[in-house]
Amino acid sequence: MANRKIVVALGGNAILSKDASAEAQQAALRETAKTLVSLVKENEKLIITHGNGPQVGNLLLQQMIGSTKSNPAMPIDTAVSMTEGSIGYWMQNAMDDVLEDEGIDKSAATVVTQVEVDANDSAFQNPSKPIGPFYEKEDINKIRELHPEYIYVEDAGRGYRRVVPSPKPVNVREYQVINSLVDNNVIPISVGGGGVPVVREGNHLIGCEAVIDKDFASEKLAELIKADLLIILTAVDNVYINFNKPDQKKLENVTVEELENYINENQFAKGSMLPKVQAAINFVNNGCGEAVVTSLKNINNFLQKGSGTIITK
């Protein structure tokens, strides 16, 4: 089974927990790299994708605080590319260190990835993805003086948050570059934070104010490069039904049809597990191979015992 092409999707929260310093995030990624190298040791072809939710939220806050008319905050597409670069740098540095420590003749490289979305996606008419910090109502009025185009909604009595569209990915512009790196013994790090959202205007790709779900973007990349396996990492070893209830049940080997039935029963939380399950279903339905949802710490158990939630046709 070795020598498979495997896309592993890391969550942004796996990189940053409470300490937002560069040093803390680099330390977390070094531990992540030690785990991911176990796949390389099995002669698998590894492609890493990652989230950036906490990081891009912090960056946008920093941009907002320093924003003036003469030195305005950068738009979201640029902020996503900035975190793709910073997290990619930390990740490739950590991977290269661990690979060298293990005596493995490979290296990692970051690809700042443009992910195309449909300009007519209904998400653009219904911004729903919260980003950045909470604000009081009076703060919103001050922000609107500089950025009247921003949309804020009240969030569960905790304050107001900016919301942006979250369109579905339709293409990954650099997927052939990523495939070339894999073919040349390089571990690509790409589709950071769902990738830089772009729309096509004639022959040009134009950045837009949106955030793409990184699980859907990872699936689209896995599909395009014809990966054999998509591993979506989350906080738990398995997907559960009746989660956190007395009769909760972990799913181990499950079919697409079974998962679709569970979705109809509203078994999976919209903001967390649902997109992971939907991305896994998309990958399997596209005839590419199997998908796995599990935790980072369970990777070795998956390799040795098949532990985790394994989704098949």
What positions carry a catalytic annotation?
Answer: 12-13, 129, 214, 276
How far apart, in whole angstroms, are the C-alpha atoms of residue 37 and residue 27?
16
Determine the 3-state secondary structure of 13 from DSSP. Answer: helix
Q: Hunting for tokens 């997109």 — which residue is that?
A: 275
Structure token digits, residue 45: 């072809």
CB 150 within 8 A of CB 156: no
Q: What CA–CA distance (Å, rounded) separates 280 from 256?
A: 9
| Helix, coil or strand: residue 126 | coil
Secondary structure letter of residue 269 according to DSSP: -
Cβ proximity of 6 and 44 under 8 Å: yes
Among 188, 210, 213, 185, which residue's Cα sits nearest to residue 198? 210
User: Tokens at residue 241, please?
Assistant: 């039904």
The answer to whether 116 touches 198, Cβ cutoff 8 Å, is yes
What are the tokens at 204? 């040009």
